[in-house]
């Protein structure tokens, strides 16, 4: 059996240490094929960062956010929050934790700064009596891309099409969009950006490019 891979991304209520997740997207590859899942997560906003919520479009996309931001005169005000145990696109915290545990079980996680996502998902699992079972070695496509670009540049130096003085100019701090474009992969569109699935699919395209996959 080949090692499963799980491309994933999350949207959270900020970047503070006790941040919480409100959207998850995962793309798992294993011997059964490639599968996708994405869902919103029930969330307690008492420690949320308002700016962090705005970045990910919480009030436009999350069911609770839509409910909270609906104008009083709008018929949307009557929308109800999905009940506990609702299926489909919305998960209770426990249901989300179980699904994340299942989809990431035994898998290598691939992401853009995946430690950010793994940390918040680990706390989600542990808060519901579960524990992460993904591989401890996370794969970050950004430093992976830096190595790939430097390898391409070194080959160009060896071929005489790049001056050695211009080699090695890829240095931190990195900008993910610039790295992605340099690798020949378009970043997410405005509609996809800061949505969990949009970013997960971007990471997958980028990883496939770097590893000689299908992108």
Question: Residue 162 gets which letter from DSSP?
Answer: S
**Cα–Cα distance for residue pair 41/12, rounded to 1 Å:** 10
Domain ranges of the chain: 5-139, 141-210
Question: Residue 3 gets which letter from DSSP?
Answer: P
3-state secondary structure of 12: strand
Peptide bond just before 213 cis, omega within 30 deg: no
Q: What's the confidence (pLDDT) of residue 77? A: 47
Q: What's the confidence (pLDDT) of residue 161? A: 47
pLDDT in tens, 66-120: 888 887 655 554 455 554 444 458 899 999 999 999 999 999 999 999 999 999 9
Q: Please tell me the pTM assigned to this model.
A: 0.86
Q: What's the confidence (pLDDT) of residue 147? A: 86
Note the CATH number of domain 5-139. 3.30.420.10
Q: Which residue has the higher pLDDT, 164 or 185?
A: 185
Across residues 166-177, what is the average pLDDT? 68
* C-alpha distance from residue 166 to each of 155, 156, 159 (Å): 13, 11, 14
Q: Which residue has the higher pLDDT, 25 or 191?
A: 25
Across residues 135-153, what is the average pLDDT? 89
**Mean pLDDT, the chain, as a whole number?**
86
pLDDT in tens, 177-206: 988 998 899 999 888 888 999 999 999 999
């Amino acid at each position: 059996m080949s090692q499963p891979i799980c491309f994933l991304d999350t949207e959270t209520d900020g970047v503070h240490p006790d941040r919480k997740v409100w959207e998850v997207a995962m793309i798992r590859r294993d011997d059964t094929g490639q599968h996708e899942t994405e869902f919103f997560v029930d969330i307690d906003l008492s420690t949320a960062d308002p700016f962090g919520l705005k970045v990910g479009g919480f009030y436009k996309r999350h069911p609770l956010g839509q409910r909270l931001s609906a104008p009083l005169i709008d018929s949307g005000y009557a929308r109800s929050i999905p009940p506990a145990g609702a299926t489909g696109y919305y998960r209770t915290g426990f249901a989300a934790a179980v699904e994340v545990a299942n989809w990431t079980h035994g898998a290598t996680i691939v992401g853009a700064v995946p430690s950010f996502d793994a940390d918040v998902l680990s706390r989600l699992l542990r808060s519901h009596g579960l524990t992460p079972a993904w591989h401890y070695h996370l794969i970050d496509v950004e430093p992976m891309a830096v190595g790939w670009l430097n390898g391409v540049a070194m080959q160009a130096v060896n071929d005489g099409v790049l001056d050695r003085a211009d080699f090695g100019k890829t240095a931190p701090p990195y900008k993910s969009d610039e790295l992605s474009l340099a690798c020949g992969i378009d970043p997410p569109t405005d509609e996809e950006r800061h949505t969990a699935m949009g970013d997960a699919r971007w990471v997958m395209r980028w990883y496939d490019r770097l590893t000689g996959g299908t992108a």
